[in-house]
Structure 1
Amino acid sequence: MSDFVTLVDYLTTAPENPDFHADTLLIAGNSLPYLIISAAKFCETTAEIQRVIFVGGFGHGTAPLIANCQKSCPELVRPEWEQLSEAEIIKEIFSYYCLRDLLLLLEKHSTNTGENARFSYQLFDHEPPQKFWLVQDPLVQKRSHLTFSKEWQLPLSAIQPLFFEQPKLIEFDHRPYFENEKMDMWWTADYFLSLVIGEIRRLKDDENGYGPKGADFIPHVDIPEKVLTSYRRCQKYIIGNPRI
């Protein structure tokens, strides 16, 4: 198993909870039309869902989101999207594929995962949801789950990650290759590297991470040594890139 396979498998393994139920689904800003369309179809056929929250302003995923939409659903893309937040764009795509009468809430000012969680919670003056489905880019799902749990003061079990199909990486050779070939084009090579390697750095509980010993955005995470070893070997791919 290559180092990148190890990292992707770790980041995208979500807790299974077949008995989970909630009337709320939250879609955090991401660059993957497949996720948005799948979430829309899920809500279209899941009667218990009554409320959908769209979260995201202008962030690092905005341009990739529009670019990916131009490839996978060009009929939906409008020139005005260049001036819209991720939440607004995602809502347009979602509403095209889900025609049910749902309560749709928008948070369009957050620019990172912490603000995604904090600002979405502030949408509720009273009685915020006590559990919800969370849709996010699977490569950042683990950290998003932790962040929302902390900001919303909910146990991890009250928030169920939902990305419909776990990415199974075969290899990274100048670009990622997955078992599901459709995923090969989900992330450009640079964006893939920034997400995968950057996420491990953020999850590490040290002075450079997001845990209590660092920025204190998330709880302490025990990362398996196997994963850390792969991470250290993969760092050579992003040397000189201060954004990762």
Structure 2
Amino acid sequence: METADLSTVTDINELAKFLSDAQLQDLSSSHSVDCIIICASAVLYGAEVLFKTLTERPSLAKCLVLCGGIGHSTQLLYDAVKQHPRYSQIGDEIMGIPEACVLEQILEKFFKKSEISKGECKILIEDQSTNCGQNALFSRKVLDQAGFKNLKTCIVIQDPTMMLRTKASFEKVYEDSSCPVSFISCPIFVPQMKLSHSGSLEYNTAFESITLWSRPRFLELIMGEIPRLRDDERGYGPNGKGFIAHVDIPNSVELAWSRLVVTFRAFRQI
């Protein structure tokens, strides 16, 4: 899409805000929790904020899980590391390793991992999952094996475009828990767009947007999420494939999605 109008930007931002599910907007001000789980993403800003925060506040969590195996989008993570102004120096070293191990390398070499561990925050690696459902299922296995079987509070950090679905995946996996677990969505930031002077779409962020998704990929991601979240025969909810807990989709979001379908088809974007 080369040009857009304000109504299209409004609809895009409506979807992005809904999918980001920003229950916790400032990680540094959060109360201490039992666990923080970060699912690896090609948008490295989330990991940067998390690692910096834990270095400053190692008591924020009793446990940190770095989550992600090798899947269809892992190459995007490798590319993001290679193109990053700071992390590019390990671009060759991380090729072929699981996403969680990429995060571990970044934590080890660019942040103070030892400071986090000294604060009694146990760091665990989940390096087998390849989708949101497995992120939740395999993270629970890793946590159970490490003795964290009675979680009460858990912050989940994920790519903002998949944050809501990821939280719903964890709620599904833990639905049989004897004690309810409070999963708190923390996308780190909520992606928003604006119109450039030439009328094209561009990111409206307080940090360098070169580290974000390409615009076509971002639009593809947010448009693909709504059908997955629907609790119908085609969706991922209990009335469909049963991958996630039920999610309520506001009518305003459905209407924004429907308008964007028409708009993007007109521009041959989807």
- Which band: TM-score by shorter chain? 0.7 to 0.9
Q: State which of 112, 123, 133 in structure 2 corresponds to 1:98.
A: 112
1:23 positional shift: 3.7
1:14 positional shift: 2.0
SS state at 1:115 partner: helix
SS state at 1:81 partner: coil
Q: Distance in 2 between matches of 1:34 and 1:19?
A: 18
1:16 positional shift: 4.4
More displaced, 206-215 or 112-121? 206-215
Q: State which of 4, 9, 14 in structure 2 corresponds to 1:6.
A: 14
Structure 2 partner of 1:206? 232
1:175 positional shift: 5.3
Structure 1 partner of 2:190? 166
User: Using a 3 Å threshold, how does the CA distance of structure 1 residues 171 and 138 change in structure 2: closer, same or farther?
Assistant: farther
Offset from partner CA, 1:18-52 (integer Å, 9 cap, x none): 76431421111211211111110111111322421
Matching of residue 114 in structure 1 with residue 126 in structure 2: no
SS state at 1:198 partner: helix
Structure 1 partner of 2:92? 79
1:114 positional shift: 0.1
Matching of residue 35 in structure 1 with residue 35 in structure 2: no
User: Using a 3 Å threshold, how does the CA distance of structure 1 residues 146 and 213 change in structure 2: closer, same or farther?
Assistant: same
Matching of residue 136 in structure 1 with residue 144 in structure 2: no
User: Using a 3 Å threshold, how does the CA distance of structure 1 residues 16 and 177 change in structure 2: closer, same or farther?
Assistant: closer
Offset from partner CA, 1:102-126 (integer Å, 9 cap, x none): 4221111110000000011111235
Unmatched tracts of structure 1, length 5 or more: none
Matching of residue 67 in structure 1 with residue 93 in structure 2: no
Structure 2 partner of 1:56? 68
More displaced, 196-205 or 230-239? 230-239
Which structure's CA Rg is the greater one? 2
User: Using a 3 Å threshold, how does the CA distance of structure 1 residues 89 and 179 change in structure 2: closer, same or farther?
Assistant: closer
| Higher RCO (CA-CA < 8 Å; seq separation 6+) | 2
1:185 positional shift: 4.5
Q: Distance in 1 between matches of 2:182 and 2:65?
A: 16
Offset from partner CA, 1:143-198 (integer Å, 9 cap, x none): 11111122123688712222333323325977542243623650012321221011
Contact 1:110 1:119 in 2 (8 A): yes
Q: State which of 18, 41, 55 in structure 2 corresponds to 1:44.
A: 55
Structure 2 partner of 1:190? 216
Q: Distance in 2 between matches of 1:38 and 1:113?
A: 21
Structure 2 partner of 1:15? 23
For residue 9 of structure 1, what is the amino acid of its counterpart? K
Unmatched tracts of structure 2, length 5 or more: 1-6
Q: Distance in 2 between matches of 1:213 and 1:135?
A: 26
Structure 1 partner of 2:248? 222
Number of residues paired by the alignment?
A: 241
Identity of aligned residues (%): 26
